């Protein structure tokens, strides 16, 4: 059987199980080897073993087998959960990830012999009584013989305690015809069943799932309290399941106001089949590009239609516009994914960084279900890595320092996501020492970045300084940070995505860095602003209102122009000055200037322009900034009349 065409499917599924493995290991390290945690870890490793064996990835299968063997001893209580053991398990998980990636990419073999020997050594010491509950050492056998024994054990019904009279629940599963890699899918289904109870028999044996003759149908016997609907839902959640027949499962029955468990035999459950399709991200990107071109064409057609004044054409254009809008919404929805798909890898990163620096840090994640466009989600990973590393290295103190300050020895780091209208806020907060403003101020003076007479720094000035390329107050370069690229990289990446970065810090209490990002990079609604003969686009997400400056209360404060609007004083900037155009000479009969009240977080500014041509949905086209040019724009777009327009970076106006 040619399995190469299923490599991407295997890789996708394996990455999900690797994420589960890392989370279970972190839980195991923090709370000990509870039955649930070790069981979840064991099931994830077991599933990877079965999938890799079916694919013919022998290195992955061998490493998974040895890891599974060790975890079985932990599960039985033969081996205590210790720091050295956790180090080996984390190392094995890292090697397993490398082996999987290498197997799919068909690269040079990953060196797994050393970690396998370490796993075997721990298992052997445990079995001989050096690390467990005692007992004589077993006879050493080859890995092949061990796998044969494990397969025989899995296919042989285990003895059922005599206190239980029923023979268990029988689950018969038939996969959808022409399911890609049916053996792998069957292993995944079986792992879902194992999560609900003890599987005591499988027909045909699990080892046969990888054979060419496997037809996608198997039966297993499970002992456990799971109800029939619960079993069916778990089985179908694995995907590509056609039918599920369940007999002998306990069900809930209401009788005289009480709830009791009853055994039901020879009953088939019927739940609507779940239909999910895995789509290559490149296809979604292609769809997004096409809908973007449609949006541009729609704007162009409306411009042409205005000149023709044909009612029938106007009706057709209105209907086409609605259809294009609906199609755009559907495609955008398809591209939205929860942030946990990126956030899930950060607990392990924080754990490793903290151990490297000799610190104790816990990471709390909030808002996992907040959704972002897939392309945006891919881009924010690296900035978050920089923020977390900086927080662990510069922010969180060592346990001794924290204890002396009356803080808990374990530092707290929080990564959160939250919606704010059409934006998503990504926050990284710590309860550490905070940024030393005095140290930053001295460094900035020494390097000539600020006026020597400056006595203190605001949060905005602090942000500008620490985001300068190469700026760092670290006294030495470490494996984690100290090269002055952390906040600089975050600022550049977030601004390139059309967002902004804000920082708040307090001595001894910690630091919070907030990245404000648009939901998507592709399409947005914008207010068009004209100055001279140029048109600029300002994202509507940041526009509060527009007013005419004719008769408006414009004044100066500390030598700078301000606008007094309903007893609120806000800075006033002219877009002409910002983009470097000559000032406007207003003559009799000219239209009054317009002001756009733009807000970002809790700040407001009035932007003066010549005219406001209107609003338009624009397709964002990214571009690389010109070296030495103004850092004022986040992209460009094509307007309905075919003319280009630059998209203003709102954060640059403050």
Identify the CA nearest to 110 among candidates 102, 122, 120, 118: 102
| CA-based end-to-end distance of the chain | 62
Beta bridge partners of 537: 528, 647
The Cα–Cα gap between 429 and 512 comes to: 4
- List, in order, residues 6 or more apart from 196 with CB less than 8 Å away: 222, 224, 226, 230, 231, 234
Catalytic residue, from 390, 397, 542, 604: name it.
390
Annotated catalytic residue: which of 46, 386, 394, 542?
46
Phi, psi of 451 (to 5 degrees): -65, 130
Active site residue 46: yes
17 labelled catalytic: no
485 close to 389: Cβ distance less than 8 angstroms: no
- Residue 546: C-alpha distances to residues 250, 412, 530, 607, 647 (Å): 65, 43, 14, 9, 18
Comparing CA positions, the residue from 619, 597, 615 lying closest to residue 606 is 597
Residue whose C-alpha is closest to residue 596's, from 556, 559, 552: 552
Q: Is 460 a catalytic residue?
A: no
**Residues 11, 340, 229: CA angle, nearest 5 degrees:** 80
294 membership: H or E segment, kind and range: helix 281-308
The active-site residue, picked from 27, 66, 68, 371, is: 68
DSSP letter string, 590-624 = PPPPEEEEEEETTEEEEEEESEEEEEEEEE-B--P
Burial letters for 140-168: b for 16+ Cβ neighbours within 10 Å, e otherwise? eeeeeeebeebeeebeeeeeeeeeeeeeb
**Which residues are part of the catalytic machinery?**
46, 68, 390
């Amino acid at each position: 059987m040619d399995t190469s065409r299923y490599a991407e499917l295997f890789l996708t599924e394996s990455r999900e199980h690797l994420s589960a493995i890392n989370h279970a290991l972190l839980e195991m390290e923090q709370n000990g080897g509870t039955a649930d945690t070790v069981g979840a870890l064991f099931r994830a490793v077991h599933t990877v073993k079965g999938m890799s064996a079916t694919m013919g990835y022998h290195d992955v299968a061998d490493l998974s087998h040895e890891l599974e063997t060790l975890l079985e001893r932990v599960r039985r209580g033969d081996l205590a959960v210790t720091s050295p053991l956790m180090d080996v398990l984390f190392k094995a998980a890292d090697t397993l990830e490398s082996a999987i990636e290498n197997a799919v990419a068909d690269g040079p073999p990953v060196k797994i012999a050393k970690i396998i020997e370490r796993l075997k050594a721990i298992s052997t010491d445990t079995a001989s009584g050096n690390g467990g509950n005692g007992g004589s050492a077993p006879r050493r056998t080859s890995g092949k013989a061990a796998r044969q024994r494990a397969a025989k054990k899995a296919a042989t019904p285990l003895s059922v305690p005599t206190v239980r009279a029923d023979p268990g629940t029988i689950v018969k599963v038939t996969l959808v015809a022409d399911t890609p890699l049916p053996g792998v899918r069957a292993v995944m289904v079986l792992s879902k069943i194992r999560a609900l109870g003890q599987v005591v028999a499988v027909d045909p044996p699990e080892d046969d799932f990888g054979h060419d003759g496997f037809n996608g149908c198997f039966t297993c016997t499970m002992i456990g309290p799971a109800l029939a609907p619960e079993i069916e839902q778990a089985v179908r959640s694995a995907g590509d399941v056609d039918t599920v027949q369940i007999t002998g499962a306990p069900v809930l029955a209401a009788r005289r106001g009480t709830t009791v468990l009853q055994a039901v035999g020879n009953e088939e459950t019927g739940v609507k089949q779940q239909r999910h399709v895995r789509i290559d991200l490149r296809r979604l990107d292609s769809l997004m590009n096409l809908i973007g071109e449609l949006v541009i064409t729609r704007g162009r057609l409306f411009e042409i239609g205005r000149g023709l004044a044909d009612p029938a054409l106007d009706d057709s254009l209105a209907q086409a516009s609605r259809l294009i809008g609906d199609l755009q919404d559907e495609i955008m929805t398809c591209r939205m994914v929860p942030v946990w798909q990126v956030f899930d890898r950060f607990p392990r990163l924080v754990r490793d960084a903290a151990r490297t620096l000799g610190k104790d840090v816990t990471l709390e994640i909030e808002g996992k279900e907040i959704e972002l466009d897939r392309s945006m989600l891919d881009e924010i990973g690296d900035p978050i890595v920089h923020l977390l590393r900086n927080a662990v290295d510069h922010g969180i103190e060592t346990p001794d320092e924290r204890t002396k300050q009356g803080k808990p020895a374990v530092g707290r780091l929080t990564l959160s996501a939250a919606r704010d209208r059409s934006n998503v806020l990504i926050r990284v907060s710590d309860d550490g020492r905070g940024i030393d403003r005095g140290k930053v101020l001295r460094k900035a003076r020494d390097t000539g970045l600020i006026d020597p007479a400056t006595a203190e720094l605001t949060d905005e000035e602090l942000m500008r300084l620490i985001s300068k390329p190469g700026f760092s107050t670290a006294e030495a370069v470490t494996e984690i940070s100290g090269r002055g690229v952390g906040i600089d990289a975050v600022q550049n990446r977030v601004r390139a995505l059309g967002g902004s970065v804000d920082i708040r810090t307090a001595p001894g209490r910690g630091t919070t860095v907030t990245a404000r990002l648009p939901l998507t990079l592709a399409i947005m609604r914008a207010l068009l602003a004209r100055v001279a003969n140029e048109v600029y686009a300002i994202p509507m997400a940041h526009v509060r209102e527009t007013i005419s400056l004719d008769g408006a209360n414009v004044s100066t404060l500390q030598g700078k122009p301000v606008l007094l609007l309903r007893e609120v004083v806000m800075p006033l900037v002219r877009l002409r000055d910002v983009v470097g155009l000559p000032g406007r000479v207003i003559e009799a009969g000219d239209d009054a200037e317009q002001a756009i009240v733009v807000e970002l977080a809790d700040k407001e500014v009035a932007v003066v322009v010549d005219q406001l041509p209107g609003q338009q949905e624009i397709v964002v086209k990214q571009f690389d900034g010109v070296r030495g040019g103004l850092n004022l724009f986040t992209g460009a777009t094509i307007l309905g009349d075919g003319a280009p327009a630059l998209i203003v970076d709102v954060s640059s106006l403050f």
